[in-house]
Amino acid sequence: MWPLRLTWALAALGIAASSGPGPDPTTLPPDEEASIFADLTPAELRAVRTFLMSRPELGLSPSRGEPLAKNTLFLVELLPPKKRQALRYLDQGGPRPRRQARAVVFFGGQAEPNVTEFAVGPLPRPSSYRPLRFKGGRGVPFAARPITQLEYQLLHRALAAAMEPLYRLLRDTTGFWYHNCSQRCLTFSDVAPRGLAPGERRSWLVLQRFVEGFFLHPVGLEVLVDHRDPDPRRWAVRRLWYNGRYFSSPRELAESYERGTLAVARLPELPARQLYSSYEPRGHFTTGTPTAVHGAKVCEPQGRRYRLRGNRLEYGGWSAAFRLRSSAGLQLFDLRFNGERVAYEVSVQEAIAFYGGHTPAGMQTKYVDAGWGMGAAAYELARGIDCPEAATYLDAHHLYDADGPVRFGSAVCVFELPTGVPLRRHFDSDFQGGFHFYAGLEGRALVLRTTSTVYNYDYIWDFLFYPNGVMEAKVHATGFIHATFYTPQGRRYGSRVHSHVLGNLHTHLVHYKVDLDVAGTGNSFETMDVRFENISSPWSPGAR
């Protein structure tokens, strides 16, 4: 949909690798220096979980299964070494930094529930843990925790019970329903933040027809569920919005429909094929040029020109360690060109989307996507579509809202890409119809790529390395738009993209951490601007 580009002129990942034709670039042994930044291996993830589960004072229970009010291990990922320790090891032959994990624990089964982060180590055989303290010394309130699969299951159960009085309304107006449903079912999307004040945990749920691309099938009903209490039996529907009107309870909405005082929105029956929200190709081009044959492909006629040594990536003058952080995504460390470090870290940190709208879900939505685990939402890349067939594909392992490491096959890819634009070129004309010389260099770059499917959005994250010393960070947003139900008042806040669908106006903010170390660590940052001067021409006084 759009690229965001950051350009500067100036990698053992807990992974297994597979590649296309040609020599495997991953057969070399891992780089020892880069491995201090490598993601945790499945064995290390299991070791951290086993150690913490064995500590009686933590009182941890498995993540899966009820109740919600219990202590659980939510996330385990690498805790990178402090920069000073890492540079002492990399540049001065100092001791190798101790390998540690960052563990996030939900303490939901105690008098004062909270979320606490721990440093656990040393790996691979952890024997101690300590709380990670942050500025201000305050912990994270339990109500502000990321949502889990268990909580989604409980929300579904609570919503199914609450929608029972609305069965006739939903069946008559949409052909789908929520309560006691096995076919023609409704589903929901939830939005964040979950409240308007600290301590709240109240989510607006957008009901949608459960078909391909359900994000584009809102039915005109949004439900505010209060699910702060650790006991789901005390959860409650606080408000409803239907087709521009607010209600205090499902019963009130149902009675308005039965009395005939409700302005209903009847949705048309959906076609069996070529649904407007489907990815099924449809339509045709008017030029008649071939579309049913393969287009251009990336090939490597003489083999690969890059090398992977564990989580160390090397290409031309470039060398970088990389990882796929479960909570945030793709990150680079110790980035060098011709052996000289130009950046200690360039890493994805956060992606945020602010929405406007007329419905409560539209106006409330302010997504902070790391709360959905952007790195752990990196699913399998499709060969020939997400990356070229000739790319090298790397697996990743995450322990995120799970009771052990989960393998994400082919979650990262590496490939060399012809840019289609010369790196540089010049035609030296003699201005008499001939030329003195022509010179040019083919444009190409090495691409390190992953994706994050965060609900409706698919972010495609790239780091590109060019042979002239330029490194580029780029993100593309694709997938489905976050849509709400169309009302005439909603046109102030978006565009009508289908009969009952509003594409809401929104803004994306993507945050990178950029720690440049050009010619050493003593770098400063300043901005510069340009202003015009109106001066007298020295060779023609009076002319400005």
- Answer yes or no: 167 catalytic: no
Is there a contact between 74 and 105 (Cβ–Cβ < 8 Å)?
yes
Res. 361 pLDDT band, cuts 50 70 90: very high
Please indicate, yes or no, whether residues 114 and 188 belong to a single structural domain of this protein.
no
**Residue 452 falls within a domain, yes or no?**
yes
The beta-carbon contacts of 494-499 under 8 Å, at least 24 apart in sequence, are: 494/356, 494/357, 494/362, 497/216, 498/216, 498/276, 499/268
pLDDT of 284 above 50: yes
**Last residue in a domain, options 259, 294, 318:** 259
φ, ψ of residue 375 to 5 degrees: the values are -70, -40
Is there a contact between 328 and 375 (Cβ–Cβ < 8 Å)?
yes
**Residue 280 falls within a domain, yes or no?**
no
Lowest mean pLDDT among 19-28, 37-46, 318-327, 416-425: 19-28
pLDDT at 28 (0 to 100): 79
* CATH number of the CATH domain containing 368: 2.70.98.20
Please indicate, yes or no, whether residues 124 and 228 belong to a single structural domain of this protein.
no
Please indicate, yes or no, whether residues 119 and 171 belong to a single structural domain of this protein.
no
d(CA 69, CA 111): 10
- Mean pLDDT (whole number) for 154-175: 96
**Residue 407 falls within a domain, yes or no?**
yes
pLDDT of 218 above 50: yes
pLDDT of 27 above 70: no
Residue of 31, 369, 401, 462 marked active site: 369
pLDDT of 8 above 90: no
- Mean pLDDT (whole number) for 340-369: 94
Mean pLDDT of the chain: 92
* CATH number of the CATH domain containing 77: 3.10.450.40
Is there a contact between 347 and 332 (Cβ–Cβ < 8 Å)?
yes
**Residue 232 falls within a domain, yes or no?**
yes
d(CA 61, CA 59): 7
Please indicate, yes or no, whether residues 325 and 460 belong to a single structural domain of this protein.
yes
How many domains is the chain built from? 3
**Residue 112 falls within a domain, yes or no?**
yes
pLDDT at 13 (0 to 100): 37
Q: What's the token pair of residue 308?
A: 């992977």
Res. 272 pLDDT band, cuts 50 70 90: confident
pLDDT at 1 (0 to 100): 37
Residue of 400, 457, 466, 486 marked active site: 457
Give this prediction's pTM. Answer: 0.91
Please indicate, yes or no, whether residues 140 and 153 belong to a single structural domain of this protein.
no
- Answer yes or no: 369 catalytic: yes
- Mean pLDDT (whole number) for 322-340: 97
Please indicate, yes or no, whether residues 136 and 115 belong to a single structural domain of this protein.
yes
pLDDT at 29 (0 to 100): 87
41-88 residue pLDDT tens? 999 999 999 999 999 999 999 999 999 999 999 999 999 999 999 999
pLDDT at 359 (0 to 100): 96
φ, ψ of residue 379 to 5 degrees: the values are -95, 180
Please indicate, yes or no, whether residues 327 and 426 belong to a single structural domain of this protein.
yes
pLDDT at 135 (0 to 100): 66
Express as a percent the part of the chain with pLDDT over 90. Answer: 84
**Residue 300 falls within a domain, yes or no?**
no
**Last residue in a domain, options 92, 122, 144:** 144
pLDDT at 273 (0 to 100): 83
d(CA 463, CA 337): 15
Please indicate, yes or no, whether residues 339 and 417 belong to a single structural domain of this protein.
yes
pLDDT of 22 above 60: no
For 400, the domain range is 307-516
Number of CB atoms found within 10 A of residue 28's CB: 13
Please indicate, yes or no, whether residues 458 and 391 belong to a single structural domain of this protein.
yes
**Residue 404 falls within a domain, yes or no?**
yes
**Residue 24 falls within a domain, yes or no?**
no
Please indicate, yes or no, whether residues 355 and 456 belong to a single structural domain of this protein.
yes
Instruction: Return the HEC string of 246-271.
Output: EECCHHHHHHHHHHCCCCCCCCCCCC
pLDDT at 25 (0 to 100): 61
Res. 17 pLDDT band, cuts 50 70 90: low
476-502 residue pLDDT tens? 999 999 999 999 999 999 999 999 999
521-538 residue pLDDT tens? 888 888 999 999 999 999
Res. 7 pLDDT band, cuts 50 70 90: very low
Res. 11 pLDDT band, cuts 50 70 90: very low
**Last residue in a domain, options 79, 114, 144:** 144
